[in-house]
Structure 1
Amino acid sequence: VEYREMDESLANLSEDEYYSEEERNAKAEREKKVPPPPPQAPPEEEVDSEPEEPSGVEGAAFQSRLPHDRMTSQEAACFPDIISGPQPTQKVFLYIRNRTLQLWLDNPKVQLTFEATLQQLEAPYNSDSVLVHRIHCYLERHGLINFGVYKRLKPLPTKKTGKVIIIGSGVSGLAAARQLQSFGMDVTVLEARVS
């Protein structure tokens, strides 16, 4: 590090004296081109950057990745009588579907049976037990309720409806085997043997 004493007259120069006329003009031009900063908005209370997740029956549909206010194309294919029916019928379907999803998500460690669903549905939605049963079976078959590891309240079906072989006993293979067994299928899981 080198230390030099500065001439007293140079140490006290103002900006006008230090810069040449050209440098001062160039600096003034640059300052003109820079737009003034936008006025700051008045400070608000903490703004959440993430939108709030819906709750209730809307939240249950959201967590199940379904629209809460309309039927999916798959549901329309499985329930043609509902989709072609009047709007109030579709609203009843949507409420029963979303409420059933909510019942499952409230306690996903215990099997949600049709009887429990019917018992917990509010009137007048519990009056059409056939529709409730169809919706419950649809949600169960498509893996929206009663999936994963949960306590079974009803025993597995004794009459096997088909045979399935699953190759691979990893997490996915075992989860698939468990789900297919709950549908009443005879499941065999195969895994390679290391020699």
Structure 2
Amino acid sequence: MLLEHRVKEAFSQSMQLMASFMEEQTEQVVAAARMLATVLREGNKLLLFGNGGSAADAQHLAAEFVNRFQIERPPLAAIALTTDSSILTAVGNDYDFREVFVKQVQALGQKGDVAWGISTSGDSPNVVQALTVARAQGLKTLAVTGREGGKMAPLADIALIVRSRQTPRIQEVQLAIGHILCDLVDFLLFPERFQ
């Protein structure tokens, strides 16, 4: 019974957190989707980044935009800044791990792009620094964070904050947010394909 209880408790916590996020931040999710759709419609791109599980989410979501989500549509410009091991290790070795996303934002980011930082704490130094540089370069900024938003929230044009201190539950909601944003962007850019 102990294991079954833990299963039910985990699902219950996740569902409760999703429900509270939905009640509190649906309007911000819609605003984020509109921002992403506008950027992509104008020929700009999304730069996604984070560490650990958030790095995996960045890669996952970039793939959904470039390949497809649920409908057949043209590829959308998205790059996960977490995937080039040569860049990551060169910057980490020659400078500092806090610079691994900054250097890529400086090299690849252009005014009108979106820098999309993901962090469960909201305080990951390399994500915070990349958002800071992105703002200075004229990129739009999206923060998907946990806890109370951390240092990332004030740096974001839009901050989506999963208010919890449990990393696994935060990550579950963050991935759901990413999938919902993919769906909304597709709907905004290709409404005729949903009829």
Same fold (TM over 0.5): no
Structure 1 or 2: more helix by fraction: 2
Return the TM-score normalized by structure 2: 0.25
